[in-house]
Chain A
Amino acid sequence: MTSLPPVPGAVRTEVARDGETIVFVQRERLLEAMTWLKETPGQEFDYLVDVTAVEFRDRERPLEVVYFLRSLKRRADIRIKVELNAADELAVDSVFHLWQGADWLEREVFDMFGITFRGHPDLRRILMWETYAEGYPLRKSFPLRGRFSRAEQVRQALNTNPEANYSLEELSIAEAAGDLPDDMRDRLRRGERGVIPDPPNP
């Protein structure tokens, strides 16, 4: 192993098969490392290419959150990884305040892997609907065909209350404008937004 790069919190480095440098960073110091990478002269990684996560088939291996950074000025790339043990809390700090492009990317990782990004202003599901109850699709423990049967999925889709199709932000706008129907407001007050009622007995 070569000497560690001067990134704060760097644990070790690797070289990917495409020749890119991967720097593993301590989870606690991720935000510090990212700020350093973005703002230090000579680094200037001003462009966030992608954020994603990897879970290995070997369940013992920790999950990885992967950040692809690019310096448009220097035309250079770097890859930053944070390792998360599945047994611990799956959470890292959000980089939203450094790159706004992280907004939807982090939401997608949260949606697909269940990794929480602390400090993200609007962390909710993005590809699956907000009341989706089957878990996190890209985790290895998630079966390919989903957890619920097709019949159960259809039943849930047909029986959901209309408020499940709107985000809480939208519902609060409608509430402020006085446009929220009474039954929806009552259910929301009772905390029943994600609850799917059973079909009435014949």
Chain B
Amino acid sequence: MSKRTVELELATPGVDAEGRATRVPLTEAAEPGLAEEHMLVNIGPQHPATHGVLRLVVELDGETVVRCIPHLGYLHSGFEKLGEYRHYNQIIPLTDRTDYLSPMANNVGFALAAEKLMGIEITPRCTVLRVIACEMSRIISHMVWLGTTSIDLGAFTPFLWAFQERERIYDLQEMWTGARLTTSLTRVGGLMADIPDNFVDKLRDFIRTFPKTLGEIDRVLTRNAVWAGRTQGVGALTAAEAINHSLSGPMLRASGVAYDVRKDKPYLGYETYDFDVVVGEHGDVFDRYLVRLEECHQSNRILQQALDRLPEGPINVDDPRVILPSKTRAMSDMEAMIFHFKQVMEGVKAPVGEAYVGIENPKGELGTYLVSDGTAKPVRWRIRPPSFINLSALPRMAQGHLLSDLIAINASVDIVMGEVDR
């Protein structure tokens, strides 16, 4: 009994009666004059804790952040401009490179918007396969987030476990698309390839064993005093603030707003799946961690249901103006050859108009806004970048926290600079 008490005392330093982390205020009284000595510190653009090429200029009062001014654009590649010079199917490889931690979900987002613009209905098998692609991406992205964030906060073990699970999904992704990162999975009106033979078995194997790792990570982190002390009450945003800052995805839900595009504006038949929207309470770094961890469980549930219902049938729509004919047919059939030629040389034409489709990406709502003037190339291809918009709340969240908390807050946003800068 006494041993138990000692453990509890050791395990909760810096935690107040309600279990929230207590913060030691800056010792202004002990060291007068310290407050006047403001300092500018430049973090990044090349620093592992900024998760890419983000540069933060921080005004410090002692160790407290007075102002945090992010500088972006080091990875700006002008994807949106490039897209105006390409056919719809040629844009799909560009979407891989925006949020490169969930390439398959980006491919799906773009294809859905292009199909909405052209008025194409995809096949049932394609719909389910795209759901599988999206949820696999969510697991990859959340595992990378969990691993890198735990490293930022000094926990090394979960990093290895998370990356091991990520690697297993990457293997599946490689089986399916031939690539680990640049998947280019979708085509307008279908998919680049059907799943290979033993894919379903391997994915079922993953689904069966993945919750065990999640449970281990949960046991190592959730009740860990260091983890709780560094994340609880740090960078908290209320629901009203989160809405006002246009946050989306796990960042919005951690603040207690139950908005999930999959439930509230369903696409790919998500309304027919049985899963829960994970909502936090305090909107701090700890709740964002809990939300993402639980979302992995929910993704696992969705994957299970998707595999159970995966129908047989074609993956592409039956429309020779949209889908490339097979090479054999193009070489033997006159009509197929003409369609092949016209698609490669002229592209798929979209009718005049515009379409916006938002999908629930791991980082938040990924919107694709396409405007067409009737030609095969979009007039405007706009990506609503979830991590760009989530990051814009960083100066607000970091204010008044310690410099070391800034690292935790920045990690909790889950940015990927390829998407922030595009």
Min distance, Cβ A39 to any Cβ of chain B, angstroms: 13
Known pairs A138-B81, A169-B69, A173-B38; A72 contacts B355 (CB<8 A) = no
* Interchain CA distance A52-B265 in the complex, whole Å: 21
Q: Are the CB atoms of B116 and A17 closer together than 8 Å?
A: yes
* Interchain CA distance A176-B38 in the complex, whole Å: 9
Q: Are the CB atoms of A104 and B388 closer together than 8 Å?
A: yes
Q: Please classify the interface of chain A as helix (H, G, I), strand (E, B), loop, or mixed, using the class held by over half of its residues.
A: loop
Min distance, Cβ A110 to any Cβ of chain B, angstroms: 13
Contact of A93 with B by CB under 8 A: no
Q: Are the CB atoms of A105 and B389 closer together than 8 Å?
A: yes
Chain A residues bordering chain B, tally (CB within 8 A): 48
Q: Residue A127 contacts which of B73, B85, B259 (CB distance < 8 angstroms)?
A: B73
Known pairs A49-B246, A75-B264, A101-B246; A55 contacts B353 (CB<8 A) = no
Q: Please classify the interface of chain B as helix (H, G, I), strand (E, B), loop, or mixed, using the class held by over half of its residues.
A: mixed
Known pairs A127-B76, A137-B81, A177-B39; A50 contacts B245 (CB<8 A) = no
Contacts of B389 in A (CB 8 A): 101, 104-105
Contacts of A129 in B (CB 8 A): 73
* Interchain CA distance A167-B384 in the complex, whole Å: 25
Known pairs A47-B243, A48-B246, A166-B57; A127 contacts B72 (CB<8 A) = yes
Please, could you name 12 A-B residue pairs with CB atoms under 8 Å apart, sorted by A?
A16-B355, A18-B356, A50-B367, A54-B371, A55-B379, A55-B380, A77-B265, A99-B244, A99-B245, A101-B246, A138-B81, A173-B38
Contact of A128 with B by CB under 8 A: yes
Residue of B246, B367, B422 with most chain A CB atoms under a 10 A cut-off: B246
Q: Are the CB atoms of B384 and A49 closer together than 8 Å?
A: yes
Give residues of chain B (253-307) contacting chain A, Cβ–Cβ below 8 Å. 257, 259, 264-265
Q: Are the CB atoms of B353 and A17 closer together than 8 Å?
A: yes
Contact of B392 with A by CB under 8 A: yes
A32-62 CB mask vs B (1 if < 8 Å, else 0) is 0000000000000011111010111110000
Give residues of chain A (56-107) contacting chain B, Cβ–Cβ below 8 Å. 56-58, 66, 68, 72, 75, 77, 79, 99-105
Q: Residue B392 contacts which of A101, A112, A165 (CB distance < 8 angstroms)?
A: A101
Known pairs A54-B379, A169-B69; A72 contacts B38 (CB<8 A) = no
Contacts of A47 in B (CB 8 A): 243, 246
Contact of A192 with B by CB under 8 A: no
Known pairs A17-B351, A72-B257; A99 contacts B38 (CB<8 A) = no
- Nearest residue, chain B, Cβ from A146: B78
Known pairs A18-B356, A128-B73; A52 contacts B379 (CB<8 A) = no
Contacts of B85 in A (CB 8 A): 144
- Nearest residue, chain B, Cβ from A174: B40
Contacts of A56 in B (CB 8 A): 371, 373, 379
Contact of A152 with B by CB under 8 A: no
* Interchain CA distance A46-B252 in the complex, whole Å: 14
Contacts of A28 in B (CB 8 A): none
Contacts of A112 in B (CB 8 A): 80
Contacts of A48 in B (CB 8 A): 246
Contact of B119 with A by CB under 8 A: yes
Known pairs A17-B353, A56-B373; A177 contacts B40 (CB<8 A) = yes
